[in-house]
Amino acid sequence: MLTPELQAAFQQSRFISYLDPEIKTYLLQHAEVITLPAYTYLHRKGDAFCGIYCLLAGKMKATGVTERGNEYSMAHIMPGAVIGEIAYLDAGDRTHDAQSLERSTLVRFNKDVLDNATAAYPAFYSAIVHLACMHIRQAFSVLDDFLTLSPEQRLAKKLLSMGSIQSRFRVISINQHELAAWVGVSRQSISKILNRWQAHKMIAIEYKKLTLLQPEKLEALYAS
């Protein structure tokens, strides 16, 4: 059973908010609450499908691993995000790793719950397909960035995106290892870029935190 606070977070999910009231009520009645400690895997790439999840509190990331064993980040998962729908639609395995970055609370809807919901409410199946299409478009956007932008431009774009999500004051909670995994370069390369930006007073570097002092300069760098 979800607490009132978790129910409110569930209702505020963008995906959930578009669903008909009957579907939301059914999902709430069959939601399984899962709490993950920080840096715990929800699932690994290749795992069998075990449900669709909605993140209610905390922060997670979707990642993969190169042939050399280096981790790369595909997306940061923030509260309200719904994940896991592709493996439901194609009855395949998980496409990536999903790991908590801090203590995180999710709700899970298992296959029986989803099958019953899509049978009773055909619009729910259409909503899941739409969600999968949105995630596929996001994946293509990430691929485009890797093919067309320099590491410095990718870093600028990522920080601007995180700054708009995390805080209107442009304070971002992240470490350099996470940034390196996202940009696809070494932590040393990230450090050189950040130190250069700090010397030009574009950012301020603190322990596991960055402040965007002149985001307009990062925007100009990303757009150049």
Contact status, residue 93 vs residue 47, Cβ threshold 8 Å: yes
Instruction: Please count the structural domains in the chain.
Output: 2
| Residue where a domain terminates, one of 99, 128, 147 | 147
Mean pLDDT of the chain: 91
Same structural domain, 129 and 27: yes
Q: What pLDDT was estimated at residue 72?
A: 82
Q: What pLDDT was estimated at residue 164?
A: 65
Q: What pLDDT was estimated at residue 168?
A: 53
* Span 12-19, average pLDDT: 92
Write the pLDDT tens digit of every residue in 40-91.
999 999 999 999 999 999 999 998 887 777 778 888 899 999 999 999 999 9
Same structural domain, 86 and 169: no
| Residue where a domain terminates, one of 89, 123, 147 | 147
- DSSP per residue over 167-220, as a string? -TT-EEE--HHHHHHHHTS-HHHHHHHHHHHHHTTSEEEETTEEEES-HHHHHH
Same structural domain, 130 and 217: no
SS3 for 19-39 is: CCHHHHHHHHHCCEEEEECCC
Same structural domain, 106 and 120: yes
Question: Which CATH number does the domain housing residue 188 bear?
Answer: 1.10.10.10
User: Is residue 173 very low, low, confident or very high in pLDDT (cuts 50, 70, 90)?
Assistant: confident
CA 143 remoteness from chain centre: 16
Q: What's the alpha-carbon Rg for the chain, to the nearest Å? A: 19
| Residue where a domain terminates, one of 147, 168, 198 | 147
pTM of the predicted structure, to 2 decimals: 0.83
Range of the domain at 116: 4-147
What pairing do the DSSP bridges indicate for beta strands 60-65 and 32-36? unpaired
Residues 6+ apart with CB under 8 A from 33: 1, 2, 6, 105, 106, 107
Question: Which CATH number does the domain housing residue 118 bear?
Answer: 2.60.120.10
Q: What pLDDT was estimated at residue 73?
A: 83
